[in-house]
């Protein structure tokens, strides 16, 4: 029998695209799934929309809004599937997402996997495709240099999470997913699908755009935890670790750009402009009369 997949949907006032997100699960070619719908103190019509579907949606309401990481942990505690997947209210699964991913996990025995992503806009139209570059295996070194895991494309063995006590960092607002997935990847092989399996929607005023000032702090905390957990990483992949920590200054510069503090952004990026030509280009752009909105779009932020 096909294993049950628990799809975790965390929602806070996500009514705008919620029907599209839920329908993308109901339209899967894989049929053995449940939805764990964690309503994180929504005040819009999200509850009404969730309740309009059948009993395959397990609805839970939390009357006090919690951090994203904590909400995901609460939701996962309700899941009973062999595997857990994740879908935010703005995004969509492509029809064969679960079928392809379960087959990979079952056949190859991976505890964790992810795949390629199509970026869509607020109207649901494709903006670009992001095909993953990595191949399945022990890839933490490549992820340190270029993190390419889209949250919506992830599938994890639930029993592994429970037994290993891996969970989302409940204090983090920006990257509890990066923190968890990189800690897993630092110890285990990862399954990678080149197939496009999800659509990720770029929405203005999203949570990620509002928390740019937290990126550097939370990623540094994550990197410190990973190196503490796996002490061989620093000596095994010194260049990759250096690249990962160097990016913290880039994230700080992005935060300053978001605050229209271009002088601080230039000063922050200056110390690493010789490390990567892209940092040099950013430094030059910061002298031009460009808006912060334009610069952030150029930087995919």
Q: Report pLDDT digits (tens) over 73-109.
A: 999 999 999 999 999 999 999 999 999 999 999 999 9
Q: Which three-class secondary structure state does DSSP give residue 241?
A: helix
Mean pLDDT taken over the chain: 93
Question: How much is the pTM?
Answer: 0.92
- HEC sequence for 5-26: EEEEEEECCCHHHHHHHHHHHH
Q: Could you tell me the two tokens for 120? A: 């869509």
| Per-residue pLDDT reduced to its tens digit, 32-85 | 999 999 999 999 999 999 999 999 999 999 999 998 889 999 999 999 999 999
Confidence class for position 282, pLDDT limits 50, 70, 90: very high
Alpha helical stretches, state H, the chain: 15-26, 46-51, 68-78, 97-108, 140-145, 158-164, 176-185, 207-210, 215-229, 233-236, 238-258, 262-270, 277-285, 292-298
In tens, the pLDDT along 107-160 reads 999 999 999 999 999 999 999 999 999 999 999 999 999 999 999 999 999 999
Cβ within 8 Å of residue 122, ≥6 positions away: 201, 202, 203, 204
Percent of the chain with pLDDT over 70: 98
> 20 is written with which tokens?
């599209």
Cα distance between residue 230 and residue 232, in whole Å = 6
The tokens describing 254, both together, are 């992005």
């Amino acid at each position: 029998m096909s294993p049950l997949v628990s799809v975790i949907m965390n929602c806070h006032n996500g009514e705008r695209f919620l029907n599209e997100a839920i329908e993308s699960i109901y339209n899967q070619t894989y049929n053995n799934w449940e939805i764990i719908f964690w309503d994180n103190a929504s005040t819009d019509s999200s509850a009404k929309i969730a309740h309009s579907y059948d009993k395959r949606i397990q609805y839970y309401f939390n009357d006090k809004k919690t951090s994203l990481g904590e909400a995901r942990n609460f939701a996962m505690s309700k899941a009973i599937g062999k595997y857990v997947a994740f879908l935010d209210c703005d995004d969509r699964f492509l029809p064969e997402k679960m079928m392809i991913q379960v087959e990979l996990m079952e056949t190859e025995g991976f505890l964790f996997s992810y795949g390629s992503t199509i970026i869509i806009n607020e109207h649901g139209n494709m903006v670009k495709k992001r095909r993953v570059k990595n191949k399945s295996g022990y890839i933490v070194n490549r992820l340190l240099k270029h993190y390419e895991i889209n949250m919506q494309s992830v599938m994890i063995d639930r029993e592994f999470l429970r037994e290993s006590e891996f969970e989302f960092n409940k204090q983090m607002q920006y990257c509890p997913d990066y923190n968890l997935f990189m800690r897993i990847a630092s110890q285990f092989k990862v399954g990678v699908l080149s197939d496009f399996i999800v659509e990720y929607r770029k929405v203005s005023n999203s949570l990620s755009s509002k928390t740019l000032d937290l990126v550097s702090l939370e990623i540094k905390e994550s990197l410190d935890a990973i190196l503490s957990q796996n002490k061989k990483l620093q000596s095994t992949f010194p260049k990759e670790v250096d690249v990962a920590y160097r990016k913290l200054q880039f994230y700080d510069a992005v935060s300053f750009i978001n605050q229209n503090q271009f002088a601080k952004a230039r000063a922050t990026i200056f110390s690493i402009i010789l490390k990567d030509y892209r940092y040099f280009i950013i430094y030059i752009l910061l002298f031009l009369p460009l808006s912060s909105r334009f610069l952030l779009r150029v930087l995919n932020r």
